């Protein structure tokens, strides 16, 4: 049998990846072609014909090389975003969303300023270090200033998305249940909810995140682990 790894490596050329990853890819392809060749031999082909048949699976090695590079790059980007945005963002969200549960037993509650408008001052102030923590977690994972900011304000992005999704649902339900519904009243309540649970906490989270993002922007000391 031919040296499949040598054949694949010579035809594929350099992938411009790490030596370990290139070796893994070459080995995977070599095993695949070897399996195809053995399958051909088991069906009565000569060894030479089976090798030719196996290699014919790839019509354009240059295109295969480009496809592999693109797939590897996409995987690296996906992993980086997971570590620098999603994971620290979810941590920030968990802290931000669970904190009111722990504050309420101490008699701390949102203060109502009108229909749908409420400000939870202790929670809002606590969001400053929570936003900073999310940004620093992103920085630790190799995130840039934009990714650090996204990780820090992640909770309000999710809250905003939820509010946008439930508003039309609530409107439809009210129309079905009560018939005539004042759209202006619904919009006013929606605006108050956005102000209470997106804009005000968002400013606090953003301030904490920016304090870290801008403070560490030119500081090479934190180690990137992307």
Angle at 97 between CA 93 and CA 100, to 5 degrees: 150
Cα distances (Å, whole numbers) of residue 72 to 17, 23, 33, 153: 8, 14, 21, 29
Tens-of-pLDDT digits for all 226 residues of the chain? 788 889 888 888 888 888 898 899 999 999 998 999 999 898 888 888 988 888 888 889 999 999 999 999 899 899 999 999 999 999 999 999 999 888 888 888 888 877 668 888 999 999 999 999 999 999 999 999 999 999 999 999 999 999 999 888 877 777 777 766 777 777 888 888 899 999 999 999 999 999 998 876 555 544 444 3
The tokens for 148 are 């650090």
Q: Measuring CA to CA, which residue among 62, 12, 19 is closest to residue 33?
A: 12
Interacting residues of 198 by C-beta distance below 8 A, sequence separation 6+: 156, 159, 160, 163
Whether 66 is in a domain gets the answer: no
Q: Is the alpha carbon torsion for 41, 43, 44, 45 positive or negative?
A: negative
Whether 225 is in a domain gets the answer: no
What global pTM score does this model have? 0.73
Residue 12's domain comprises 4-59
187 touches 114 (CB < 8 A): no
Are 95 and 54 within one domain?
no
Count structural domains, the chain. 2
Whether 220 is in a domain gets the answer: no
**Alpha carbon distance 185, 101 (integer Å):** 29
Whether 74 is in a domain gets the answer: no
Whether 29 is in a domain gets the answer: yes
Whether 73 is in a domain gets the answer: no
Pairing of strands 111-114, 117-119: antiparallel
Are 115 and 203 within one domain?
yes
């Amino acid at each position: 049998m031919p040296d499949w790894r040598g054949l694949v490596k010579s035809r594929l050329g350099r992938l411009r990846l790490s030596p370990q990853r290139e070796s893994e890819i070459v080995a995977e392809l070599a095993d695949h072609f070897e399996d195809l060749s053995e399958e051909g031999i088991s069906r009565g082909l000569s060894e030479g014909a089976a090798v030719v048949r196996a290699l014919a699976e790839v019509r354009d090695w240059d295109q295969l090389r480009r496809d592999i590079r693109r797939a590897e790059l996409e995987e690296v980007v996906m992993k980086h975003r997971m570590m620098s945005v999603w994971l620290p963002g979810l941590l920030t969200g968990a802290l931000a969303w669970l904190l009111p549960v722990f504050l309420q037993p101490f008699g701390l509650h949102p203060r109502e300023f009108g229909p749908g408008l409420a400000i939870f001052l202790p929670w809002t102030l606590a969001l400053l270090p929570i936003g900073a923590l999310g940004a620093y977690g992103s920085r630790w994972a190799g995130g840039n200033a934009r990714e650090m900011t996204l990780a820090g304000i992640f909770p309000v992005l999710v809250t905003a998305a939820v509010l946008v999704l439930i508003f039309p649902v609530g409107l439809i339900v009210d129309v079905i249940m009560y018939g005539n519904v004042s759209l202006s009243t619904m919009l006013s309540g929606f605006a108050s909810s956005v102000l209470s649970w997106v804009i005000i906490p968002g400013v606090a989270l953003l301030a904490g995140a920016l304090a870290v993002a801008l403070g560490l922007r030119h500081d090479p000391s934190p180690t990137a682990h992307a």
